[in-house]
Structure 1
Amino acid sequence: MSLTLTQVYLTAWLVGLLGGVHCLTMCGGLVGSLTVGLAPDIRCDPWRMLPYQFTANLARVIGYGLAGALFGGLGALLLQVDSLQIAQRALYAFAGIMMILLGLYLGGWWRLLAATERLGLILWRRLQPLTRRLLPIHSLGQAAAIGFIWAWIPCGLVYSVLITAIATGSPLDGAGVMLAFGLGTLPNLLGIGLLAGAAARIAERDWVRRIAGLLIIGFGLHALWRLTG
């Protein structure tokens, strides 16, 4: 794994972890509907509820991985249809620019990437009714199906990291980038235990988000600087 790919993975994980406030805003309703949608005998027992929440979130992360593989495959196709050296440099520059934009978004300096949420509204309008058909939830299979559909919710952070996955030029690496992002979102969206509480408190601190934003911007600038060498 190259240093640059390591930086992309770390960027995806940090955006997932410290973008928790945004994730709770976008996905909080779905988390709530998952809880309310559980059969009453399950919903009344936190310990019985936990496997359903975990299963739904695991399926969501798997959905991210599948989407990342598809977009990484798109990047691989780009490497095939153009001059390899030119395509590699273009994808490299694209990754650097996306990391800079993600850093600006995470640090709260520029919310341009929020506009990407409009891209998924058409798809989400078709998928959202499927979740209603799966309620009430009586089985882990139903929870997994809802979680997988949840992966396609129109979210600026999800779509921005997904677009970055194109720059890996590999289905495997594209999946890895999205899995790293998904794992970063787990503490906030599972909402359980001390880890979740600590992650939420960290994500709410502006200075933490700004330091992470500057780090990611640095990754992007480093990628672009290497192109000049």
Structure 2
Amino acid sequence: MTLDLISAFFIGILGAGHCVMMCGGITTMLTSALPANQARQKQGQPQVITVQPAQAAQQSAPLPPTPSKTILVLCYNLGRIASYSLIGAIIGFTGSLAARNAGMPLAGLRLVAGIFLILLGLYMGQWLMWLNRIEALGKGLWRRISPLSKKVIPVDTPSKALALGGLWGWLPCGLIYSTLTWSMASGSALNGAAIMFFFGLGTLPALVTMSFGMITIKQLLINDNFRKIMAFCIIIYGIYSLLVASRLVF
């Protein structure tokens, strides 16, 4: 099981470029949560405030503190990883239940997981886009969930950031769906949740650096050659996983 967790973590890291392209837009929402006055103060610009007499009484009341961008980003990612873990628990439970009822060894499900890793690498390298069909299966659910995000925008409190991350975790994504096959073969809800939790941790470096506008890192992650090297690494690991699982089955 420890090897599965480490593998899930590195799949999250290797999928960094895909994460940036799929979820990079969320950084705009988090940045827009900062009030204009706060943004000007950070840039060292003078803050000019004109108070009308009718507004004086209202402005005498203390304003609630504005959360920092760091807190919002951390809460968003916590919500996102929590969603991954929940989905992993559901898939882990249903996968183990289905395998027992069908009399199928869990190693058989690991064969499926290895195949999906190879498909993921081909998908990330844009050599074979079959995972687009798998993503399409989740679009119906996403159409029902995505309108809820309007209720937490602008993202100006930690609870809104947490909620937005929780919603965004359900975005149809070939990278997530491929990793979920490992949860399916994990044998239990707890193991399935743990695999997706470590996968979520692996995606953190890419999305956190993206959130703080580290342009150089972003350009590296979306670079075509870098993305194809990462895709090739996932294909190699998928082939290795397939060979290990086939020995257990046959």
With normalisation by structure 1, the TM-score equals 0.82
Percent of aligned positions with the same letter in both sequences? Answer: 35
Alpha-carbon RMSD across the aligned residues, in angstroms, is 2.9
In the alignment, is the contact (CA less than 8 A) between 2:113 and 2:178 conserved in 1?
Answer: no
Which among 130, 134, 138 is matched to residue 156 of structure 2? 138
Task: Report how far residue 89 of structure 1 moved.
Answer: 4.3
Identify the residue that residue 58 of structure 1 maps to in structure 2.
Answer: 78
Counterparts in 2 of 1:88 and 1:215: CA distance versus 1, 3 Å:
closer
- Answer yes or no: is 1:21 the counterpart of 2:17: yes
1:22-171 to 2 correspondences below 5 Å: 22-40=18-36, 48-83=68-103, 86-106=104-124, 108-171=126-189
Paired residue secondary structure (1:187): helix
Runs of 5+ in structure 2 lacking a partner?
44-66
Write the letter of the residue equivalent to 1:21.
G
Counterparts in 2 of 1:202 and 1:212: CA distance versus 1, 3 Å:
farther
More helix by share: 1
In the alignment, is the contact (CA less than 8 A) between 1:43 and 1:49 conserved in 2?
Answer: no
Distance 1:50 1:224 in 2: 45
Distance 1:142 1:64 in 2: 18
Task: Report how far residue 55 of structure 1 moved.
Answer: 0.8
Distance 1:122 1:20 in 2: 26
Identify the residue that residue 217 of structure 1 maps to in structure 2.
Answer: 239
Q: Deviations over 1:41-94 (max 9, x none)?
A: 5666599211101110111011100110000000121133233xx343432332
Write the letter of the residue equivalent to 2:75.
T
Per mean C-alpha deviation after superposition, the further-off stretch among 215-224 and 174-183 is 215-224
Distance 1:169 1:144 in 2: 29
Q: Deviations over 1:86-129 (max 9, x none)?
A: 34343233233233333444555433223221111111111111
Paired residue secondary structure (1:63): helix
In the alignment, is the contact (CA less than 8 A) between 2:20 and 2:221 conserved in 1?
Answer: no
Per mean C-alpha deviation after superposition, the further-off stretch among 41-50 and 124-133 is 41-50
Counterparts in 2 of 1:103 and 1:138: CA distance versus 1, 3 Å:
closer
Write the letter of the residue equivalent to 2:245.
A
In the alignment, is the contact (CA less than 8 A) between 1:53 and 1:143 conserved in 2?
Answer: yes
Paired residue secondary structure (1:111): coil
With normalisation by structure 2, the TM-score equals 0.76
Aligned residue-pair number: 222
Write the letter of the residue equivalent to 2:22.
M
- Answer yes or no: is 1:201 the counterpart of 2:215: no
Paired residue secondary structure (1:168): coil
Paired residue secondary structure (1:191): helix
Q: Deviations over 1:6-50 (max 9, x none)?
A: 2x4344223321212211111112222232245545666599211
Runs of 5+ in structure 1 lacking a partner?
none
